Amino acid sequence: MTPRLCLASQSPRRAELLRQAGYEFEIVEPKVDETMTPGEDPPLLTERLSMMKAAAAKKMLGPDSKMKVFLGSDTTVVVDGESLGKPRSECHAKQMLRRLSGRTHEVITAVSVLWNNQQASEVVTSEVMFCSLSEALIDDYCASEEPFDKAGGYAIQGRAAVFVENLRGSYYGVMGLPLRETFRLLNNANVYPTWHHRRIE
């Protein structure tokens, strides 16, 4: 019997992607402290937070839960070596987009799976180049709700798709859940999409 999967995320985008890949799951929305520790680099930060989310969901549900496999993910946007995080306000979102305008930035997404007494993670880094963004374009974009609760203040699958000149890496990773890596991790935990029931080696 396939273990029941729990997605530890508040992101509707991650749920949409996991559903698109063919997985059945339930959602728990754990709250974790996302503060970066001194000297912590962005890949380590995203990996730590993704595992913290999975562990927090497991703790929330308790030992008697039917959920046996916990999936957590975290994404950060990095420019000039600095993690931008999520905008705190419209003004903050505009500041982020000005920094991303006309240049290349990194999007780092970590996926972690926790099952039984085992855990595993993968970190995916993609490079995204934006076109030059005028103040009017930034103002109009930030007048919508799309920049909020998004790492770097934008959603590549939404209106901000028109900002992208070039992308190297994982499109789904930029969205928040790299599907190839997620499939591989869940396979190791004996969790399969509904259309595929055999373990890959």
Residue 92 belongs to domain with CATH number: 3.90.950.10
> pLDDT category, 85, cuts 50, 70, 90?
confident
Give residue 2's pLDDT. 58
- 23 located within any domain: yes
- 66 located within any domain: yes
Query: What integer is the mean pLDDT of 167-190?
Result: 96
Of all residues in the chain, the percent with pLDDT exceeding 90 is 76
- 199 located within any domain: no
Q: By residue range, what is the domain housing residue 119?
A: 4-188
> pLDDT category, 134, cuts 50, 70, 90?
very high
- 27 located within any domain: yes
Give residue 97's pLDDT. 97
Answer yes or no: are the C-beta atoms of 198 and 192 closer than 8 Å.
yes
- 197 located within any domain: no
Catalytic site residue from 74, 80, 139, 140: 74
Count of structural domains, the chain: 1
Give residue 157's pLDDT. 93
Q: Which residue intervals of the chain are DSSP H helices?
A: 12-20, 42-61, 90-100, 135-142, 171-175, 179-188
Residue 74 known to be catalytic: yes
Query: What integer is the mean pLDDT of 169-181?
Result: 96
Q: In the chain, what are the helix, strand and coil shares in percent, each to the nearest 5?
A: 35, 25, 40
- 132 located within any domain: yes
pLDDT at 1 over 60: no
Query: What integer is the mean pLDDT of 59-87?
Result: 91
